[in-house]
Amino acid sequence: MLAAAPGERLKTLRDILGLTQSQLAEVSGVSQPWISEVETSSKEATPDKLQQIAHATGTPVSFFSARPASVPLDTLRFRKSSAARKTTTRRVHAIYGESYRVTEDLVGAEGYPTPSLPFASGEANLTDADIEQLASETREALQLAPDKPIPHLTRALERAGIAVAPMVLPDIEGDEQAAVGHFGVSYWGGLGATALIGYFPGRQGDRDRFTLGHELGHLVLHTFRPRTSHSQAEEEANLFATALLVPLERAQASMSDKLSLTDYARLKATWGVSIQALIMRGHTVGAIGDTRKNSLFVQLSAKGWRKREPVAVGHESPKLLWTLLSRRYGSRPYVQGADELAIHPTVLRSIAPTPQSSQTRGSQVSSTRSSTVKVVDFDPVRKSMRRRA
């Protein structure tokens, strides 16, 4: 394990906050040349100036003596769009590295089980059938029914030892910024190692569920196939996500060329998967042809549903990291936890959010002029209460 290097930690802090050396100098009162010399190891950092920077940025001074994460950040897989900026990606690298370091600490200290997942290996390309099979085996590993909707994907992942963390980009004021073009990031070191899926929450719960499935696909498909090209890895992870969320036989049985967009909205309410992803799933499994797929997407565009679909899928909320954090630091863990775990408090609050109350948790319902399909309730607690009633 690498020893702590204050200069490298200083650069990591700048990446987390999205600050240049000049900007950090302006807000902290420490000169830009000093920051540059410390970061390049041409000058030793002094405790008084590190304390000054820590105070100005709301960062615990322990941050500068923390060892870096064990995750090799150059192997991270992202779900991002072409709109993603390199500077934002660098910030995501830094925030994810800190989040992984803290997750390793919390999981290891509590002895929480690490995941046991199926995985692809070797250099050969995977066929669609290979990915379908691995998705089926992953459902089994997550102790999910082989052919039913997944009520709460986040909770299934956490039960299996995969930590899930919503992430934000903090600024110097402690506020949150959007990670434009970025959806998720993940890493798993293999059997016996910690796994963490980070995602940037969006407006729609179905997008977040797809991101979790996509990142899980990276863990299963690419942990032991690191040389897979980015474009190929993204295609494979997308197929894995839909295969996990809508199993093959159910997709083939429920989709056909005869289905309208309203029918797909009803399927969305059942499976918690976007209409667009369901159409692509139907095409992938051979249930609909090219002509029908293209026609449906034209209709989606005409209705304005490419950007905002009907049927709202509720947001899932993680609990694992909060549970581990509160066991160690109590019901108000963030101040003490940030200091002892040597992490910026905004990042800690993001990855281990306080669980929502039962009154505010759960799915929303939306309707459109052409469809009034209600969304499936993805809250297993409320489902259990209804069954008992």
pLDDT of the residue at 369: 33
> What is the arithmetic mean of pLDDT over 76-102?
80
Task: Report d(CA 138, CA 116) in Å as an integer.
Answer: 9
> What is the arithmetic mean of pLDDT over 156-167?
97
pLDDT of the residue at 80: 61
pLDDT of the residue at 181: 63
380, pLDDT greater than 60: no
* Nearest C-alpha neighbor of 245 from the set 301, 300, 189, 313: 313
Beta strands in 65-181 (DSSP E): 77-80, 162-166, 169-170, 176-177
DSSP assigned state of 311: S
Q: ∠304-177-180 over CA atoms, to 5°?
A: 45
Burial class (CB in 10 A: 0-12, 13-18, 19+), 112: middle
Question: 303 or 68: whose pLDDT is higher?
Answer: 303
DSSP assigned state of 71: S
Query: What pairs with residue 79 in β-bridges?
Result: 184
387, pLDDT greater than 60: no
Does residue 106 contact residue 324 with C-beta atoms inside 8 Å? yes
DSSP element (H, E) containing 291: helix 290-303
pLDDT of the residue at 307: 86
Task: Report d(CA 71, CA 166) in Å as an integer.
Answer: 18
Task: Report d(CA 389, CA 378) in Å as an integer.
Answer: 18
Task: Report d(CA 56, CA 24) in Å as an integer.
Answer: 9
% the chain with pLDDT above 90: 73
Both tokens of residue 340? Answer: 């002892």
**pLDDT of 98-146, one tens digit each?**
999 999 999 999 999 999 999 999 888 999 999 999 999 999 999 999 9
User: What pTM, to 2 d.p., does this model score?
Assistant: 0.88
- Given CATH 3.40.50.150, say whether it is the number of domain 1-68: no
* Nearest C-alpha neighbor of 56 from the set 31, 32, 26: 26
pLDDT of the residue at 371: 34
pLDDT of the residue at 223: 93
pLDDT of the residue at 359: 37
9, pLDDT greater than 70: yes
304, pLDDT greater than 70: yes
Reported confidence tier of residue 70, pLDDT bands at 50, 70, 90: confident
Both tokens of residue 74? Answer: 């150059």
pLDDT of the residue at 383: 41
381, pLDDT greater than 80: no
Residue ranges matching CATH 1.10.260.40 in the chain = 1-68
